[in-house]
Structure 1
């Protein structure tokens, strides 16, 4: 009887402590540390290992067998693809809605709206690769709906992910279209709203609904489901809200 109880306790201990590997869209990189810290308050023995990247590239890795148990994408397209291919074991749900913003290292006249990008002083515009990064796709859509795409296309400096776009916006370009969430990071305090950045008119692009799914490898460890439930909890939603996301 004692051996049975001991075996049960050891099994519970194994299930409650371990490491989980998750794939996370680059735009969440600014909030992920705070999310992990909050999760650790109730799951101190769970190590959360995060791989950041563009949603398209992460999806390709997952389809090629990368050992992730959970995927937080920058839109619903990629997790839906994984679900349809029976690689994701849960139907995609929205965990947050992202937004675009302009960012420049120098003062800009944002009263011009998206027409600012056509200014002769703006010679390079940082944009995430629209083929793999949902925020890049949204940026292109905004410029097309703003009827300036043909005028500014030759100015584009493409980044592989939205986090790299932030870097390019203040180094390799005069301005960039980035994830608004990045501007709420403590590392971005030097950039002031109305001077260095403003939100892009949300009417210019389709809402960026970000989706989460559990993957096949997530079935091997119940801690993946715990983190999944946490991301959809009020505590996590409060953190997302503090980083400029819209949550329901």
Structure 2
């Protein structure tokens, strides 16, 4: 888990807990939000599962921007959210490698050149769950199971790939579309018919003795044209029909 400050110190602040696949997109969205409203954001980035556990333990987060619907639904059902979660985007899974001689294909994963395949922990990270589902759907999971190396989130998985500790790995399309990584290595979008659509949800977190005015503004901004354009630029789909058209 790591922290990102949106802007300089300001009087009005909110804390946004965001799934690791949103690391780059949420920074741009929050910067645009602060520019428009003057409300600063503290960003907490980690796996959706870990953020959920922290919320249940009383972490002072105002908004939870998850990588799936399961975790924000759990937060709501247990009484920690103001309202049920709403889908803000659909994520896409890619294979990514910084090695020039690595084949970006499912068949290539069994190549002896590949000793480590990075993916996020499927127990806490939705993109890790999607990667395992993809491998099982392709009937290659048992062939490569011994090569799998798990990061606690997509962020740590990316570190495995960019440091070349893993020859190849599964990550979010939003990561390879970011300006920080788009010129690093090679990536291939995976056939979405082999994993469940990654519907990503957001909820407002209940905070005792605290108004939700500023966090509601951020929530609404996430569904604005400006934020949607940013999400699209990072490779997210905004409608399930878009996702299904790729299946």
Q: TM-score, normalised by structure 1?
A: 0.88
Task: State the alpha-carbon separation in 2 of the partners of residues 145 and 115 from structure 1.
Answer: 13
2:156 to 164, 175, 186: 164
Root-mean-square deviation (Å): 1.5
- Does the alignment pair 1:22 with 2:16? yes
1: CA distance between counterparts of 2:207 and 2:66? 17
Is 1:191–1:197's contact at 8 Å kept on the other side of the alignment? no
Q: Residue in 2 aligned with 1:230?
A: 221
* Counterpart secondary structure, 1:96: strand
For structure 1, list consecutive stretches of 5 or more residues without a partner in the other structure: 1-15
Aligned residues: 227
Task: Give 1:220's aligned residue.
Answer: 211
Residue 229 of structure 2 aligns to a residue whose secondary structure is: helix
Larger helix proportion, structure 1 or 2?
A: 1
Distance in 2, Cα, partners of 1:83 & 1:32: 22
Determine helix, strand or coil for the equivalent of 1:140. Answer: helix
CA contact (8 A) 1:93 1:213 kept: yes
Residues 129 and 161 in structure 1, CA contact (< 8 A), matched pair in contact too: yes
Q: Does 1:103 align with 2:96?
A: yes
Tell me the residue number matched to 2:60. Answer: 67
Q: TM-score, normalised by structure 2?
A: 0.88
| TM-fit CA distance, 1:191 | 2.7
Does residue 1:80 correspond to 2:73, yes or no? yes
User: Which 5+ residue runs of structure 2 have no aligned equivalent?
Assistant: 1-9, 240-247
Change (3 A) 1:88 1:221: closer
Which residue of the other structure, out of 75, 88, 92, is the alignment partner of 2:85?
92
Aligned partner of 2:3 in structure 1 is none
